[in-house]
Amino acid sequence: MNVLFYHRFLKRTDAAAVPRHFFYGVLDLEKFDINVSFIEDATIGNRIFLAIKLAFRILFLDESYDIIYGSTPHGLELLVFLRALCLFNKPIVVWQHRALKASTNPIKSLFLKFYYSGFDKFIMFSELHIQKTLSHKSTSKNKLVQMHWGPDTKYFDRIIAETNIDNNSHYFCSTGRENRDFPTLIQGFAGLENSMLRIYTTKQHGKMNNEKLLLDYGDKYKNVEVYIIENTPNLNRFLSQEVYKSKCAVISCHEHNYTVGLTSLLEAMALGKAVITSDNPYFPIDVEKEGIGIKVPYGNSNAWKKAVDFISQNPEICHEMGKKARKFIDEKCNSDILSYTVAKCLNDVAKRNI
Q: Using CA atoms, how far apart are residues 329 and 33, in angstroms rounded to an integer?
A: 25
What Rg value do the Cα atoms of the chain yield, rounded?
Answer: 21
Portion of the chain with pLDDT greater than 90, in percent: 81
* Antiparallel, parallel or unpaired: β 92-96 and 67-70: parallel
Q: Using CA atoms, how far apart are residues 118 and 137, in angstroms rounded to an integer?
A: 15
Indicate if the pLDDT at residue 298 is higher than 80.
Answer: yes
Q: Please compute the mean of the pLDDT values over residues 5-10 and round it to a whole number.
A: 92
Is 291 in the same domain as 344? no
Is 126 in the same domain as 234? no
Whether 40 is in a domain gets the answer: yes
What are the φ and ψ backbone dihedral angles of 336, each rounded to 5 degrees? -70, -45
Identify the band that residue 305 occupies on the pLDDT scale cut at 50, 70 and 90: very high
Q: How far is CA 299 from CA 184, 205, 211, 253, in A?
A: 6, 20, 20, 8
Sign of CA dihedral 8, 278, 20, 37: negative
Which pLDDT value is given to residue 17?
Answer: 85
Beta strands in the chain (DSSP E): 2-7, 35-40, 67-70, 92-96, 121-124, 144-146, 171-174, 196-201, 204-205, 208-209, 224-228, 248-251, 275-278, 293-296
Is 10 in the same domain as 47? yes
Q: Are 285 and 277 in contact (CB under 8 A)?
A: no
Q: Using CA atoms, how far apart are residues 28 and 291, in angstroms rounded to an integer?
A: 30
Q: Poorest-confidence range of 63-72, 115-124, 215-224, 234-243?
A: 215-224
Parent domain of 235: 153-332
Is 178 in the same domain as 78? no
Closest to 175 measured CA to CA, from 210, 217, 218: 210
Whether 138 is in a domain gets the answer: yes
Q: Are 160 and 271 in contact (CB under 8 A)?
A: yes
Which pLDDT value is given to residue 103?
Answer: 93
Is 127 in the same domain as 192? no
> How many domains does the structure of the chain reveal?
2
Indicate if the pLDDT at residue 44 is higher than 70.
Answer: no
Is 41 in the same domain as 71? yes
Is 246 in the same domain as 286? yes
Return the axis-axis angle of helices 315-332 and 301-313, rounded to nearest 10°. Answer: 100
Which residues, including other chains, have CB under 8 Å from residue 344's CB and lie 6 or more apart?
354
Domain containing residue 43: CATH number: 3.40.50.2000
Indicate if the pLDDT at residue 167 is higher than 70.
Answer: no
Q: For residue 36, give the DSSP letter.
A: E
Q: Please compute the mean of the pLDDT values over residues 345-350 and round it to a whole number.
A: 97
pLDDT, one tens digit per residue, over 307-329 is 999 999 999 999 999 999 999 99
Which pLDDT value is given to residue 335?
Answer: 98
Whether 141 is in a domain gets the answer: yes
Which residues, including other chains, have CB under 8 Å from residue 46's CB and lie 6 or more apart?
none
Cα 202 → chain centroid:
17
Which pLDDT value is given to residue 24?
Answer: 98
Indicate if the pLDDT at residue 43 is higher than 90.
Answer: no
Which pLDDT value is given to residue 199?
Answer: 96
Is 257 in the same domain as 230? yes
pLDDT, one tens digit per residue, over 129-147 is 999 999 989 999 999 999 9
Indicate if the pLDDT at residue 128 is higher than 70.
Answer: yes
pLDDT, one tens digit per residue, over 22-35 is 999 999 999 999 99
Whether 354 is in a domain gets the answer: no
Whether 51 is in a domain gets the answer: yes
What are the φ and ψ backbone dihedral angles of 311, each rounded to 5 degrees? -65, -40
Is 191 in the same domain as 304? yes
Whether 311 is in a domain gets the answer: yes
Q: Using CA atoms, how far apart are residues 326 and 318, in angstroms rounded to an integer?
A: 13
Q: Using CA atoms, how far apart are residues 109 and 131, in angstroms rounded to an integer?
A: 18
Is 126 in the same domain as 158? no
Beta bridge partners of 69: 5, 93
Which pLDDT value is given to residue 133?
Answer: 97
Whether 302 is in a domain gets the answer: yes
Whether 188 is in a domain gets the answer: yes
Is 106 in the same domain as 172? no
Q: Are 123 and 145 in contact (CB under 8 A)?
A: yes
Is 74 in the same domain as 178? no
Q: Using CA atoms, how far apart are residues 68 and 288, in angstroms rounded to an integer?
A: 37
